[in-house]
């Protein structure tokens, strides 16, 4: 199946590892040009070096919480690739903790990066994209049901999902799609870190796997393939939806 990605140009934030990097790999391998971001030059350089073995990539050190980031990334994509077709907005997971124990400063910091930073990227992209463009958000299964011990994610990501769905309504008449992905237990550094907070990380992983109908954690590659499809022209009639990538773990419709 041809996804129609050849020579398209996408921005993928937070793409030096994990789900963002897995998505960038799939996009690059299918012929898209990819601009990736990360927090350090070393991480960005390593990701770009790998991606350039698959296709065409460029990297920028950027922080989603910086108000100047959004415009800088779109400008960089246009200057580097001569076009801009879409963005996948991925941010690192916020601090773990309960509602009561998480300090207000952590909520405020996460709002700046997870919510406001992501919304700023989406709004900037929306102003620059033309018909056929796409805006994707990497969210979490916490959009549908709370994840124990991740109070900040549980609080912010559902609101961002509703903002994304409202934006899909606003941009639909212009032929621009907006959607979200809801990963659950994908075998990334972040999820292994969360499992490591348990007294027995191996037991925590086994218990989580037992609650997944497919009986295992997903791989970043499996997530990346879904994300690349949703960003591609092959998914041209999909907008305003939140797609779980969770092995069937969510019990909501």
Q: Where are the beta strands (DSSP E) in the chain?
A: 9-12, 33-38, 56-61, 86-89, 134-138, 177-183, 242-245
148 in a structural domain? yes
Look at residue 174 and tell me if it is in a domain: yes
Q: What is the pLDDT of residue 1?
A: 84
Q: Is residue 193 part of a domain?
A: no
Question: Per the domain annotation, does 236 fall within a domain?
Answer: yes
Domain hosting residue 51, numbered range: 9-186+219-244
How far apart CA 123 and CA 114 sit, in angstroms, is: 14
Of the candidates 75, 77, 76, 96, the residue with the CA atom closest to the CA atom of residue 85: 77
Please indicate, yes or no, if residue 3 is contained in any of the structural domains. no
- CA atoms within 13 A of residue 180's CA, in its CB half-sphere: 29
- 2 within domain boundaries: no
Per-residue confidence (pLDDT) for residue 83, from 0 to 100: 97
The 10 Å Cβ neighbour count of residue 245 is 21
Q: How many domains does the chain have?
A: 1
Residues of the chain predicted below pLDDT 70: none
In this structure, what CATH number is given to the domain that contains residue 139?
A: 3.40.50.720
- Is residue 60 a part of any domain in this protein? yes
| pLDDT score at 60 | 97
Instruction: Write the pLDDT tens digit of every residue in 208-218.
Output: 999 999 999 99
- Note the pLDDT tens digit of each residue in 50-98: 999 999 999 999 999 899 999 999 999 999 999 999 999 987 778 899 9
Name the DSSP class of 183.
Answer: E
Q: Count CB neighbours of 128 within 10 A.
A: 15
Q: What's the confidence (pLDDT) of residue 2?
A: 92
Residue 192 lies in a domain: no
Q: What is the DSSP letter of 175?
A: T
């Amino acid at each position: 199946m041809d996804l129609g990605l050849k020579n398209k140009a996408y921005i993928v934030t937070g793409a030096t590892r994990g789900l963002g990097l897995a998505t960038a790999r799939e996009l690059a391998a299918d012929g898209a040009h990819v601009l990736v971001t990360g927090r350090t030059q070393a991480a960005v350089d390593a990701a770009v070096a790998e991606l350039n073995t698959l296709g065409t990539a460029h990297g920028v050190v950027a922080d989603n919480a910086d108000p100047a980031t959004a415009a800088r990334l779109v400008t960089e994509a246009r200057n580097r690739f001569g076009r801009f077709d879409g963005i996948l907005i991925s941010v690192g997971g916020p601090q773990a903790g309960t509602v009561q124990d998480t300090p207000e400063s952590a909520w405020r910091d996460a709002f700046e990066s997870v919510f406001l930073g992501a919304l700023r990227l989406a709004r900037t992209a929306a102003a620059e994209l033309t018909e056929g463009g796409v805006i994707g958000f990497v969210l979490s299964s916490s959009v549908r049901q709370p994840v124990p011990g991740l109070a900040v994610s549980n609080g912010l990501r559902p609101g961002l999902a509703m903002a994304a769905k409202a934006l899909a309504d606003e941009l639909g008449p212009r032929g621009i799609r907006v959607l979200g992905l809801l990963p659950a237990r994908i075998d990334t550094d972040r999820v292994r870190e969360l499992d490591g907070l348990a007294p027995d990380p191996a037991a925590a992983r086994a218990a989580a796997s037992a609650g997944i109908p497919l009986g295992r954690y997903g791989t970043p590659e499996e997530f990346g393939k879904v994300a690349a499809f949703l960003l591609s022209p092959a998914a041209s009639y999909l907008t305003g939806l939140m797609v779980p990538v969770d092995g069937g773990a969510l019990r909501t419709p």
